[in-house]
Amino acid sequence: MTTPIDALRNNVSAPFDEARAMPPAVYTSDAFHDAEVENVFKTSWFCVGRASALAKSGDYVTCELAGQPIIVLRDKNNTLRAYSNVCRHRMSTLLHGRGNTKTIVCPYHAWTYNLDGSLRGAPAMNGNKAFCKNHYSLPDIRCEDWLGWVFISLNPDARPVAEELSEVADLVDGYDMTNYTETFFEEHLWDTNWKVLAENFMESYHLPVCHAGTIGGLSKLDEMICPPGRKAFNYHTILKDESLRIAMAHPSNDRLEGEERRTTYLLAIYPSLLITLTPGYFWYLSLHPKGPGQVQIRFGGGMSDDYKDDAEAQQHLIDLKTLLDEVNVEDRGCTEKVYRGLSAEGATPGHLSHLERPNYDFAQYLMSRMDPSFQPVSASGD
């Protein structure tokens, strides 16, 4: 019997101009999901959001990475830190959602931890002779800030994010990603596989149809450029016109020139950080699977600081967020329909358009995570 990994291996052996969509079992099988948690999410960097959302000491966010509940916070020294979000007493989770706190108090019996992870105090523990509070602290998890993005990893051997993603930094250097501030953040759960949503982001082929009710009419297939992917990411670009002023470089922006002043980059940083980066605003999705058929979505965005004194532009961003919410409803409809179709007996992958080049590269990447000896057909770069 062919395993889902063998089915993928067979699928990615085709050259791009003969390629097909990935086989259904890659999306729907428990075995492939388990292999992804092990080989992708346990070993890679995962983005929890923007550093600007953790600006003050005590600001925290929580997440789950490959089954591990994790706290990311800014400590008293203004350093971003990540810890296991599991109490050292009887192992309750500690913090939930996001917020600001001076200490981490367990909701079960109030063992209390400092922002450096050390145990500050524990009520009524003086009767246990073996207990010593200095022996307890929350285990550290790797955490790095790269161009304003906060990443965590469970892999002690993962290369530093700045090394891993240096090609991304070079590609969008003129946009200066540190220069964008998050003004909205939401979490959602959709009934589709995380890769269906990631792939939906990677191609703008669906825009005229899936988004006919919103942005579809503005999307020109012949203005989409889909270069071959790189080892750690893929991208494509689209051009926006003056009708969306906040997608243009601000007049004071002297970092971008020519067409780049109206170019939107759609960056898919593996495994699951998807960034729409325009010269004026950005939004992103950071995805984590919750089983084969559900995806946990971290969704945030905001504007370039070039626009921060421009009240009219700030209002435009609020209008844009309303539009993005409508676009997301359309994407949810399309990606949940794809998952239902993929789950059907007899679902068979069809050929890819040249506008789905990033999807092809993503499949190659995925296979390389499942089998380190696999040599991707296409990826260039280090």
- Residues forming contacts to Fe ion in the complex (CB under 5 A) are 331
Give, for 264, the enclosing helix (H) or strand (E). Answer: strand 263-269
286: closest CA among 212, 161, 186, 157?
A: 186
Cβ atoms of 213 and 334 within 8 Å: the answer is no
Give the shortest CB-125-to-ligand FES separation in angstroms.
10
CB 87 within 8 A of CB 106: yes
CA distance 14 to 134: 58
Look up residue 73 and give its two tokens. 């916070």
Residue 117 C-beta: closest distance to Fe ion, Å: 40
Torsion of CA 60, 61, 65, 67, to 10 degrees: 90
CB nearer to Fe ion: pick between 177 and 207 = 207
CB distance 155 to 120 below 8 Å = no
Closest to ligand FES by CB, 106 vs 171, is 106
Kind and range of the H or E element at 151? Answer: strand 149-153
Q: Which partner, ligand FES, Fe ion, none, binds residue 159 by CB below 5 to 8 Å per kind?
A: none
Of residues 110 and 209, the one with the C-beta less far from ligand FES? 110
> Which C-beta is closer to ligand FES: that of 90 or that of 351?
90
Q: Report the partner that residue 331 touches, choosing among Fe ion, ligand FES, none (CB closer than 5 to 8 A by kind).
A: Fe ion
Q: Contact, 81 vs 62, CB < 8 A?
A: no
90 binds, among ligand FES, Fe ion, none (CB under 5 to 8 A by kind): ligand FES
Q: Which does 370 bind (CB under 5 to 8 A by kind): ligand FES, Fe ion, none?
A: none
Q: How far is the CB of 69 from ligand FES (least distance, A)?
A: 13
Q: Which is nearer to ligand FES, 138 or 210 (CB)?
A: 138
CB 68 within 8 A of CB 84: yes
User: Quick one: 225 or 334, whose CB is closer to Fe ion?
Assistant: 334
Pick what 351 binds: Fe ion, ligand FES, none; C-beta below 5 to 8 Å, kind-dependent: none
Spatial separation of the C-alpha atoms in residues 156 and 133, rounded to whole Å: 27
87 binds, among ligand FES, Fe ion, none (CB under 5 to 8 A by kind): ligand FES
Question: In angstroms, what is the minimal distance from the CB of 211 to Fe ion?
Answer: 6
Q: In angstroms, give the least distance from the CB of 236 to Fe ion.
A: 13
CA distance 152 to 229: 23
Q: How far is the CB of 111 from ligand FES (least distance, A)?
A: 4
Residue with tokens 């002779």: 129
Question: 179 near 306, Cβ under 8 Å?
Answer: yes
Site of interaction with ligand FES (CB under 6 A):
87, 89-90, 92, 106, 108-111
* Shortest Å, Cβ 365 to Fe ion: 21
Binder of residue 137, out of ligand FES, Fe ion, none (CB less than 5 to 8 A by kind): none
331/361 with CB nearer Fe ion: 331
Report in angstroms the alpha-carbon separations of 35 from 3, 4, 192, 359, 367: 12, 10, 18, 20, 11
DSSP label at residue 193: -
3-state secondary structure of 55: coil
Measure the CA–CA gap between 122 and 186, rounded to whole angstroms: 34
CB of 337 to Fe ion, least distance (A): 13
* 345 SS3 class: coil
The identity of residue 142, as a single letter, is: R
Please say which residue, 29 or 101, places its beta carbon nearer to ligand FES.
101
- Nearest to Fe ion by Cβ — which residue? 331
Partner interacting with residue 109 (select from ligand FES, Fe ion, none; CB below 5-8 Å by kind): ligand FES
